[in-house]
């Protein structure tokens, strides 16, 4: 008689295709909006970083609002963004870099791991690089862990993949 065990992985990833679509939609809206007429406002994606450019801080905040609304529509969590300082750029414009958080860093992984252990649910969890693997004998226990992590107020957005 074999004892079956089930598992899933806890990850934190941004769908880069959806991100690209959101950026394209935001840039299109910025190019068509009356309040951006004659403005040099734009959003650019370079690897895993966004570069926001605009005439001044007020317009830059408007660019961020447009971007965030497009991200929300595409189910991309705003928790995945880490905003840098607003810096002066060429020709009197301002620039802001926004890092896209991919993966679960060591600190967050430890917090999540401890939450699972402290919950006394009969599962095991282990950190594997930028993700966590949770295993258990009962699918119900795994579902309980997923619900607990979804309701936790963490600084990163979590996804649950490879449920077996």
Q: How far is CA 21 from CA 45, 70, 73, 108, 141, in A?
A: 11, 9, 11, 28, 37
For residue 128, the SS3 value is strand
pLDDT at 78: 92
pLDDT at 120: 87
How is the chain split among helix, strand and coil, in percent rounded to 5? 40, 30, 30
Q: Is the pLDDT of residue 106 over 90?
A: no
pLDDT at 3: 54
Mean pLDDT in residue range 103-131: 88
pLDDT at 1: 40
Q: How far is CA 144 from CA 10, 40, 104, 149, in A?
A: 14, 49, 21, 9
Q: Is the pLDDT of residue 95 over 90?
A: yes
Which domains are assigned to the chain?
6-13+103-161 (3.30.70.860), 16-100 (3.30.70.990)
Residue 74: pLDDT band (50, 70, 90) is very high
Measured CA to CA, the distance from residue 77 to residue 159 in angstroms comes to 11
pTM higher than 0.75, yes or no?
A: yes
């Amino acid at each position: 008689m074999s004892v079956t065990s089930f598992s899933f992985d806890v990850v934190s990833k941004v769908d880069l295709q959806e991100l690209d679509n959101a950026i394209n939609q935001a840039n299109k809206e910025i190019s068509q909006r009356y309040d951006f007429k004659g403005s040099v406002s734009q959003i650019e994606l370079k690897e895993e970083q966004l570069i926001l450019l605009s005439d001044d801080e007020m317009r830059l905040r408007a660019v961020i609002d447009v971007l965030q609304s497009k991200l929300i529509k595409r189910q991309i969590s705003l928790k995945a963004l880490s905003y840098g300082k607003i810096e002066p750029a060429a020709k009197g414009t301002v620039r802001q870099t926004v890092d896209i958080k991919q993966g679960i860093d060591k600190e967050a992984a430890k917090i999540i791991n401890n939450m699972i252990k402290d919950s006394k649910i009969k599962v095991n969890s282990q950190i594997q690089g930028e993700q966590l693997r949770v295993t258990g004998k009962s699918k119900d226990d795994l579902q309980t862990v997923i619900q607990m992590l979804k309701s936790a107020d963490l600084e990163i957005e979590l996804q649950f993949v490879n449920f077996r």
